[in-house]
Amino acid sequence: MSNNRVLLKVENNVGIVTLNRPDVGNALDLQMAKELMDVSIICSESDEIRAVVITGAGNKFFVGGDLKSFANEGDEISSHLKSVTSYLHQATSNFVRMNKPFIGAINGVAAGAGMGLVCACDIAYASEKSKFVMAYNRIGLTPDGSGSYFLPRLVGMKRALELMYTNRMLDAKEASEWGIINHVIPEDKLMEVVLDLATTLARGPMNAYGATKKLFYHSLQETLESQMSKEALLLAERASSTEGKEGISAFLEKREADYFKQ
């Protein structure tokens, strides 16, 4: 599948999503937001795709909203932004809620909604040249694209507010130290490393990944006891699932589990 502003290709059961407006830093306009939502649905629903990688074309990951296109809407800017964010937010939700691992290959600047998308990834690897900035308050705006949800949970409230108020830019090393990304990778090795990881995860128990993701997110609003109750129910459910049975059998038989047959 190929769109103008968002590209999708599938290799080894990995869906590779590329934000494709390199001439403007992959800035988000209405059409790109629509295409991203469409691609997120395909990634979520396709049986062929078992892990998803997202990256940017050119030398930037995603610089956030296309302010020029927004300003061109004049007095209609508010209604226009509601449309843009509706598509962006549904895409983000689809990527986050799908059972499949969602992996970021951050190949340059991630600003505004771009940084929010990094935070929404299950796992994120970044090139050593990557930069991260929220950028909203500088232009009198507030976060979108899940930034206000994930950032405080990753770095803590005080650090999140510092990044918002001051528009401080983090380099890749700091972003890793703060928990925004998992690892810093040499630029020329980034996609190789990420695709190796995604290919490995695509061979794994996809439904167990999804259940684990849901369990972790629910933990943010549960007590210790209610969370352990969820753990017990899900563990019992997974043990009797086809994935669980295959995994246990493979372990006891000292062989690699085959989750593709599930």
Same domain, 160 and 214: no
pLDDT of residue 1: 45
Summarised one tens digit per residue, pLDDT across range 197-216 is 999 999 999 999 999 999 99
pLDDT at position 261 is 65
| Single-letter code of the amino acid located at 196 | D
Instruction: Encode pLDDT of 61-104 as tens digits.
Output: 999 999 999 999 999 999 999 999 999 999 999 999 999 999 99
Final residue in a domain of this structure, among 168, 187, 202: 202
Task: Tell me whether residue 172 is in a domain.
Answer: yes
Q: In the predicted model, what is the mean pLDDT of the chain?
A: 95
- In this structure, is residue 96 part of a structural domain? yes
Residue 33 has pLDDT above 60, yes or no: yes
Q: Kindly state whether residues 61 and 182 are assigned to the same domain.
A: yes
Question: What DSSP element (H or E) covers 68?
Answer: helix 67-71
pLDDT of 262 reads 53
pLDDT of residue 203: 95
Residues 182, 123 contacting (CB under 8 angstroms): yes
The pTM of the full predicted model, rounded to 2 decimals, is 0.94
Both 245 and 129 in one domain: the answer is: no
Mean pLDDT of 234-254: 94
What stretches of 74-118 adopt beta strand conformation (E)?
102-106, 110-111
Same domain, 218 and 131: no
**Of residues 168, 191, 137, the one with CA closest to residue 17:** 191
Whether residue 220 has pLDDT greater than 90: no
Q: Is 198 contained in some domain?
A: yes
Backbone dihedral region for residue 185 (phi beyond 0: left; psi -120 to 50: alpha; all else: beta): beta
Could you list the residue range(s) of the whole structural domain that residue 109 is in?
A: 6-202
Instruction: Quick: pLDDT tens for 131-169.
Output: 999 999 989 999 999 999 999 999 999 999 999 999 999
Calculate mean pLDDT across residues 15-37: 97
Q: Which pLDDT value is given to residue 260?
A: 83
Domain count, the chain: 2
Residue 229 is part of a domain; what is its CATH number?
Answer: 1.10.12.10
Residue 1 lies in a domain: no
Q: How far apart are CA 260 and CA 254, in angstroms?
A: 18
Looking at the structure, do residues 130 and 37 belong to the same domain, yes or no?
Answer: yes
Same-domain status, 210 and 182: no
